[in-house]
Chain A
Amino acid sequence: QKEVEQNSGPLSVPEGAIASLNCTYSDRGSQSFFWYRQYSGKSPELIMSIYSNGDKEDGRFTAQLNKASQYVSLLIRDSQPSDSATYLCAANSGGSNYKLTFGKGTLLTVNP
């Protein structure tokens, strides 16, 4: 079974610090990778998508993809209390399979 694994939380960082979230995936054919943020009781909202090896930056967020290591990460710079949420990593299955699988999520708490 194709899986997406996230580092176990919870993760706690002080305000202004860098939060680092990690994810590995098992399907070498995966081509699409996403990070979502989910506040308690709400539906997930997309933060970043990444399709190519390397870094992709959007404001305070940077996604990193290493297909050789089957590894995806999300860095949050200058963390704010409003960033406190569960972060979900997702990957599609490769080839013609458009199945989109999520990890179990990492709970991030940013302390003022």
Chain B
Amino acid sequence: DGGITQSPKYLFRKEGQNVTLSCEQNLNHDAMYWYRQDPGQGLRLIYYSQIVNDFQKGDIAEGYSVSREKKESFPLTVTSAQKNPTAFYLCASSFWAFGQGVNTEAFFGQGTRLTVV
């Protein structure tokens, strides 16, 4: 089945720890995205990537890092510099129509709930 897989579903982080959230897609999508959602809030963009080895900072990139070594994978590391990391993290992917400025529909993984303990 094609789709986006995020793991783990739940993650607990101790103070000062770095943790990495996994996102894998087998939809052959070009673009991948990481969003953060806090209770009662919309989705805020952390990082996004169009092609392998290239990514852009979103609106709230501080304290986060990403890599895009493979088209299928876009892991997010929450570093110790992120002072308030407790949130619901969502990964998404879509096709990107080069030269037309058009995204096709983005599909989401099931999310990872990160809690600081």
Contacts and interface: CB of A to CB of B under 8 A. Distances in A.
Contact of B105 (A1, A31, A49): A49
A92 interface: yes
B18 interface: no
A98 B110 contact: no
A45 interface: yes
A92 B48 CA distance: 12
Contacts of B116: none
Contacts of B103: 31-32, 92, 98, 100
Contacts of A94: 101
B102 interface: yes
Interface in B55-95: 56, 58-59, 90, 92, 94
Contacts of B35: 102
Contact of B56 (A45, A51, A99, A103): A99
A29 interface: yes
A1 B102 contact: no
Size range of the chain B interface in the assembly: 20 to 34
Give the most central of A44, A88, A101, A103: most B CB within 10 Å.
A44
Given A88-B42, A103-B42, A49 B96 contact: no
A9 B48 CA distance: 29
A100 B50 CA distance: 12
Contacts of A102: 35, 42-45
A45 B108 contact: yes
Contact of B90 (A31, A34, A44, A99): A44
B105 A34 contact: yes
A95 interface: yes
B106 A43 contact: no
11 contacts: A32-B103, A42-B111, A46-B106, A49-B105, A96-B101, A98-B48, A99-B58, A100-B45, A100-B92, A102-B45, A103-B42
Closest 3 CB pairs of A and B: A104-B42, A102-B43, A43-B108
